[in-house]
Amino acid sequence: MQRTISIEGKHAELASQEEIANGIQAASDVFARNEVDPLDCAAAIAKLERDELLSREEALLCVIWDEAEEAAFRTVTLGWLSRDVDIRIGVS
């Protein structure tokens, strides 16, 4: 099944279509490099946000999610004057 990664957040509308596409690709590359399903990572992050106990594998998935989100953020906001923006990834 194909996963859809999106760029979300309060400031996502400020990004160009090219910046968004590049950010999605950066996040996708992180998930592919680590051979994980983005939905599994999103589920682990949701569990973390609910302050539930994580397994070792879920903790690793959270780290991968954070890496993918950071890669997308840096790619989308490359050249922006402000880094105080709300841009993150979502997956469905």
Q: Is residue 3 part of a domain?
A: no
pTM (two decimals): 0.92
Q: Is residue 60 part of a domain?
A: yes
Q: Is residue 2 part of a domain?
A: no
Distance CA 32, CA 29 (A): 5
How many residues are present in the chain? Answer: 92
Q: Is residue 33 part of a domain?
A: yes
- Angle among Cα 22, 72, 49 to the nearest 5 degrees reads 150
Q: Is residue 26 part of a domain?
A: yes
Q: What is the pLDDT of residue 1?
A: 58
**Which residue in 22, 21, 23, 24 sits closest to 3, CA to CA?**
24
If one counts the domains in the chain, the total is 1
Q: What is the pLDDT of residue 3?
A: 81
Region of residue 79 (phi > 0: left; psi between -120 and 50: alpha; otherwise: beta): left
Q: Is residue 1 part of a domain?
A: no
Tens digits of per-residue pLDDT, 10-69? Answer: 999 999 999 999 999 999 999 999 999 999 999 999 999 999 999 999 999 999 999 999
Range of the domain at 84: 8-91
Q: What is the pLDDT of residue 84?
A: 85
- Angle among Cα 13, 77, 46 to the nearest 5 degrees reads 70
